[in-house]
Amino acid sequence: MGSAAVWDLLSNEQRPYTWTSADAAGLPIFPGLVRYDEVATGQVRHAFRFTLLQSRAAFIPPASHWAANSSNASAAPMGMRMRLKADFDVSAYSATNQAILNALKKYGLIMADNGSNMYLSGTPDDRWDNNDLLTLGQVKTSDFEVLQMTPLYTQNNLPNGAAPLITSFTASSSSISAGTQVTLSWEVSGASYVIVSPDVGTVRATSVSVAPAQSDTYTLYATNAFGRTTATVSITVH
């Protein structure tokens, strides 16, 4: 079993509202992991993903999805941010753990999924000292503060808007010999990003060249915060 999600790292746009990802919150996993190569430098410059046992039907951007397992109004929404209190004394911890704790003071945690309470995820790495990492268990939930939660989206106030409009999606030729280049062109409005599949991926222009070895159907995906629109074009290879 597997899953995949496309992220436009050159844009501040988020995934469409109500879309999930490999994380229930609709967030990418890798940027929120505790990674040894970063910790070893003594400074980590991003928030960490974490999980809690219970969550409610709400999310805070950049989260885009909830996976509620509690009706308790005090349960956390997906995307909730927490930060280690500034006066927490890190001096008794190792240099490795101090790097983690100082990142928690500055960048904090972001609720990414349901799971074990206050569980941080990290990359597997033989250089970790697991016994040392276990001392982080001395940090209590009460040592954190919850940051202001706004905007908080529920079923009652989800933003509404129009999905992208695809005016055209065409191929310069629909019947070719194997390996012949074909230009796929499109006109799209209202999209945050555009993907062409198979093989091409994200495209910032309004056309792309392909050279299919066999007959295939190409799909254009145009996405914004309110949804996704698709169009297809087929090329016959003979």
Share of the chain above pLDDT 70, in %: 98
Average pLDDT, the chain: 94
Average pLDDT over residues 156-165: 96
**Is residue 155 a part of any domain in this protein?**
no
**Is residue 214 a part of any domain in this protein?**
yes
**Residue 127, CB-side half-sphere exposure with 13 Å CA sphere:** 9
Q: How many domains is the chain built from?
A: 2
Same domain, 74 and 135: yes
pLDDT greater at residue 4 or residue 221:
221
Look at residue 167 and tell me whether its pLDDT is greater than 90.
yes
Same domain, 124 and 208: no
Q: pLDDT tens-digit profile of 99-126?
A: 999 999 999 999 999 999 999 999 999 9
**Is residue 65 a part of any domain in this protein?**
yes
**Is residue 152 a part of any domain in this protein?**
no
Tally of CB atoms within 10 A around 149 = 13
Look at residue 1 and tell me whether its pLDDT is greater than 70.
no
Look at residue 3 and tell me whether its pLDDT is greater than 90.
no
Same domain, 43 and 130: yes
**Is residue 2 a part of any domain in this protein?**
no
Q: Which stretches of the chain are DSSP H helices?
A: 36-39, 95-106, 130-133
Q: pLDDT tens-digit profile of 45-86?
A: 999 999 999 999 999 999 999 999 999 999 999 999 999 999
Same domain, 141 and 169: no
Domain boundary among 83, 111, 146: 146
**Is residue 195 a part of any domain in this protein?**
yes
Kindly tell me the sign of the dihedral angle through the C-alpha atoms of 110, 113, 117, 120: negative
Same domain, 176 and 139: no
**Is residue 156 a part of any domain in this protein?**
no
pLDDT band at 15 (very low <50, low <70, confident <90, very high): confident
Q: Which residues contact 104 (CB under 8 A, 6 or more apart)?
A: 48, 83, 84, 144
Same domain, 125 and 208: no
Same domain, 39 and 89: yes
Out of 9-23, 37-51, 70-84, least confident range: 9-23
The residue segments making up the domain with residue 139 are 30-146
Same domain, 64 and 138: yes
**Is residue 140 a part of any domain in this protein?**
yes
CATH number at residue 204: 2.60.40.10
**Residue 121, CB-side half-sphere exposure with 13 Å CA sphere:** 18
Same domain, 133 and 214: no
Same domain, 86 and 122: yes
Query: Judging by DSSP bridges, how do beta strands 48-52 and 165-171 pair with one another?
Result: unpaired
